[in-house]
Chains A and B, each alone.
Chain A
Amino acid sequence: MPRRKLDPLPSTAFHILLALAGGDKHGYGIMRDVAEDTDNKVRLGPGTLYGSIQTLLDAGYVEELDEQATPAGDERRRYYRLSRAGRAALKAEVERLSDLLRLAKAKKIVKRAHV
């Protein structure tokens, strides 16, 4: 089966990279960040989350860290980190979206500045 293409970044992958841009996180931390960032509009299920993480790991956009304890000191978890390639892909996607927004503004689809 094909590796899923990441250009442009699928929405789920974009949200995961954006969450990891704020620091290393475990799965639930990523899920919570995505929900908070989007006012609960995007709620990743475990299957979707880890499926996308797998794709991002394959692409080298995310690195897997050794299991470590959470700051709360409970059970050890696997953490994920945004790689240099992942940060570049995220930046490229943000620029692509910014260009689209500029285009929408030029066509008067969006009036006020949202970014």
Chain B
Amino acid sequence: MSERLYALILRLYPRPFRERYAKEMMRVFRDRLNHEGGVRVWLDVLGDAVVSIPRQHFVQEPHPYYPPSAAPLRGAYAVVMQALIVSAILGAVFSLVIALTFFVGISKTWPLAVLLIAAWWITCRKAHRASQTVKAMRAEATSDAVTVAYAGVEPLTLRRSEIIGLHEFEYVGLRIETADPARDLWVPARAESYAAVKARLGQWVPVRATPHPVARALTNVPLLAIVLISHALLITPTIFGLAMYLVPVVPAMAGRDVPLHRKLLWTVPFAIHLVRWLRG
């Protein structure tokens, strides 16, 4: 059964990679199942798949359609999209945990809850790493040029005269457009210098903006706050419910760069739940 499920996961890898390595990957999976516990192997494999599948879809050799110079653009986009995909999966897993606590009662399904929380933890760690990769990208605009540098490719520079447009994709980044799309550059929205670069380039050419409704919904703090507070008020307080809240509360409180509203988003429902639990 496990091997059949893993064979399905392998089908999500791009065909060239699959044709070359699927057999070996299945052997590795089988070896690990034989030598380690099934749950641990599955947690590792799922966490690995979340990161490596999107990556492999973008690290394959460029399609002949793309000239070689298009590669850096696609690479940067892959990293940004990977961070977004991981964040989306993170949200979906957490929503699943919430839904289960609503409809089933987490104390009755604690083994499943523990499994989900563990999966959520792993995804959270992967999301953090992806986020760090994006943050590590460097973009710098001088008086007549912009340079973008990120892990994996050589730094790329465009002169001011080459830039014909700027297209901002909400939550994703800024596409710096040139006459040859293969030479376009991306500045990821989470790059530290994003605001400064956008402001500088905005003085050269106007910025077109495209909203991202899905990402906006996933990161809508008031909406999440309503869901979490309703949950804390409606569900019967249990030790597992508290544990579920602690999972995001601890990293939120420990993170130096977590804004106050994010900390409140996690701690207020936890406090409500805790008070209700203490009052019996």
A residues with CB within 8 A of B: 1-5, 26-28, 31, 43-51, 53-55, 75, 77-78
- Number of B residues near A (Cβ < 8 Å) is 35
18 A-B interface contacts by CB (under 8 A): A2-B59, A2-B71, A2-B72, A3-B152, A5-B154, A27-B27, A28-B28, A28-B32, A31-B32, A43-B44, A45-B51, A46-B28, A46-B29, A47-B56, A50-B17, A50-B21, A51-B56, A75-B27
Which single residue of chain B is at the shortest CB-CB distance from A43?
Answer: B44
B27 touching A51 by the CB < 8 A rule? no
Contact with A along B1-41 (1 / 0, CB 8 A): 00000000000010001001100110111011000000000
Interface check B53, CB cutoff 8 A: yes
A28-B28, A47-B52 known, 10 other contacts, Cβ within 8 Å: A1-B61, A1-B71, A1-B78, A2-B152, A26-B24, A45-B44, A50-B17, A51-B52, A54-B17, A77-B27
Distance of A9 from chain B, by nearest CB (Å): 12
- Beyond A5-B153, A47-B56, is A77–B24 a contact (Cβ under 8 Å)? yes
The complex places the Cα of A46 from the Cα of B23 at a distance, in Å, of 11
Question: B248 within 8 Å of A by Cβ?
Answer: no
Residue of A4, A5, A48, A78 near B24 (CB, 8 A) is A78
Given the interface pairs A45-B45, A45-B47, the reply to whether A1 lies near B75 with Cβ below 8 Å is yes
| Contact status B59-A49, CB under 8 Å | no
A76 to B68 CA separation, bound complex (whole angstroms): 37
> Is B62 engaged at the interface, CB distance under 8 Å to the other chain?
yes
B48 near A5 with CB under 8 A, answer no
A-B contact count (CB 8 A): 82
Which residues of chain A come closer than 8 Å to B48, judged between CB atoms?
44-48
Contacts of B61 in A (CB 8 A): 1
Q: How far is the CA of A49 from the CA of B29 in the complex (A)?
A: 12
Contact residue among B28, B44, B55 (Cβ-Cβ distance under 8 Å from A51): B55
Cβ–Cβ < 8 Å partners of A77 in chain B = 24, 27
